[in-house]
Amino acid sequence: MTILLFSCLLFLVSILAGLLGALTGLGGGVVIIPALVLFFDINIRYAMGAALISVIATSSGAAVAYLREGYTNLRIGMFLETGAVVGAFIGAVLVAFVSTRFIAIVFAVILFLSAYLTVRRKHAQQTQVSSHPWAVRLQLTGDYPTTSGMRTYSVQHVPAALVIMTIAGIFSGLLGIGSGALKVLAMDQALRLPYKVATTTSNFIIGITASVSVGIYFFRGYVDPNITFPVVLGVAIGSIGGAKLLSHIKSRSLRIIFSVVICLLGAQMLYKGMTGALS
């Protein structure tokens, strides 16, 4: 395949990655890695480098729209990010002592379970009015746009969410990708936030988490300009488009899209665990 053809095809795939990444709060890596490895026969290290950059581009492309429309909860995002950063550090230390193949299989199981939990939650309206004491103390509650104007929401189980975020950080430190799925889960299942608040707040912070590893990725030579060039352009276009779509999509549809995408991620992890190929 010529470089010109490769760049054009990868550009198109990256638009889709940016679109799905911005809508689900997962970033573009979930689509970028299997596309590069399976369809273009690119070495996994280059694919991981490109995926990391795609996550930062997705986060940047969609953030301004989500902040302006009032979906993103900056306080919740930054509070939970501390758990992810600490976890990422623990994961980076642990990586020398544990089998990443075993970890990948455990993570795959967690992802399939997350997909099930995400689809199962049907209640669009929050039933509880009062918030967890920590949420009150840290002023984590907020409001978000609905078809009938701005609506306030409560915030539950803050300690549980912080634990899930730390685990998300450990997994991303160990495996390099995939922490976005657990971030959305922490905010959806533990904090019980409106679904779009969970995905947009995840979108805001995944760029920060990815930036923590980027120095090392550059230094190891994982970031190749020829591969990242079509990825950054495509993902930027896709994520800006995705952010415009969000307010027109029903939360229920978004849950289904999210579940399909994390099942795809789960399949990748299972493949990684079984073959040891993606290490």
Region 175-234 residues binding other proteins, contact defined as CB under 8 A: 207-208, 210-216, 218-221, 223-230, 232-233
Is 9 a binding residue for other proteins by CB under 8 A? The answer is: no
- Find the shortest distance in angstroms from Cβ 124 to other proteins: 24
For 106, the enclosing helix (H) or strand (E) is: helix 100-120
- Per CB under 8 A, the segment of 63-71, 124-132, 154-162, 191-199 that binds other proteins is 63-71
Is 20 a binding residue for other proteins by CB under 8 A? The answer is: no
Burial class (CB in 10 A: 0-12, 13-18, 19+), 180: buried
Terminal Cα distance for the chain, rounded:
25
15 vs 62: CA distance, rounded Å: 13
Is 64 a binding residue for other proteins by CB under 8 A? The answer is: yes
167 vs 173: CA distance, rounded Å: 10
Q: Which residue, 138 or 263, has its beta carbon nearer to other proteins? A: 138
- Find the shortest distance in angstroms from Cβ 274 to other proteins: 21
Which of 165, 162, 175, 174 is CA-nearest to residue 30?
A: 175
- Per CB under 8 A, the segment of 60-68, 165-173, 252-260, 261-269 that binds other proteins is 60-68
State whether residue 154 is helix, strand or coil.
coil
Q: Which residue, 16 or 44, has its beta carbon nearer to other proteins? A: 44
Which of 37, 47, 20 is CA-nearest to residue 228?
A: 47
- Find the shortest distance in angstroms from Cβ 256 to other proteins: 28
Distances (CA, A) of 207 to 11, 81, 158: 20, 11, 22
For other proteins, the binding residue among 16, 40, 101, 257 (CB under 8 A) is: 40
- List contacts with other proteins (CB under 8 A): 1-4, 6-7, 40-46, 53, 56-57, 59-61, 63-68, 70, 74-75, 78-79, 81-82, 85, 89, 138, 207-208, 210-216, 218-221, 223-230, 232-233, 236
